[in-house]
Amino acid sequence: MAFGFKRTIQSKGPDRFIINLREDLREVIAAVCDDVLGALDDEDAPNRDPMLRRVFPVAHASDESVNEAYRDLVHSDLLRTRREALEKVSATANDAELNRATPIGYRATVREIILVQEQNGADSRTIWASLLPDDSLKISGQDLGPAVERFFGADEYEFAHTIPAAYVLPFLELLGATEVKDVLGALKHFGGPRYPEISAALEQAKAFMPIEFWSWF
């Protein structure tokens, strides 16, 4: 007997995604977004709720003067982009299909390039770079297939590194790119077989730059 299985998110090409979620889960997602949006209006909420501190990561583990300078630099932009992202998810929670061109929230102003797109039998890897509205740089990836399942116990792995705007040019300098006027254009030279150079630069930069890392499988 064959059993059907649907991924929660099914890719239907580079720009189209089918969302397979029960109605009650969609309601929960929208409600959680609305709750977090309400918490963002309370400036003291991160001090009372440790979970909210992840929304506004610190730059240094113990030096409060560094953290204060970092907050002065990026807090307003972080608040705006977090809010726009939450509003986007809430607005599309009931959509059965999404695509990269959907003009919702901040998405219309995001610019992207593909850095890696590989297919090896049933395994695939896609890595892309996005320049966000606050000029921060986000490098995201998705691995699919049995090789991922053997390693993680699940056949899908996603990750993202976000580099704050103030650190984007210094990060590119680690790659040897100087006097950059087009961030994504400069980064594209390090796509394909040269992507390991980006990966190595990210690991190096984490030692002295407040790079935010996220992963899911």
Of 13-17, 94-98, 108-112, the one with minimum mean pLDDT is: 108-112
- Mean predicted lDDT score pLDDT of the chain: 81
pLDDT surpasses 50 at 2: no
Handedness of CA 104, 105, 109, 113 (dihedral sign): negative
Span 138-162, mean pLDDT? Answer: 88
| Domain boundaries, given as residue ranges, for the chain | 16-99, 110-216
d(CA 187, CA 195): 10
Sheet holding 111-120, edge to edge: 111-120, 123-131, 137-144, 156-163, 212-216
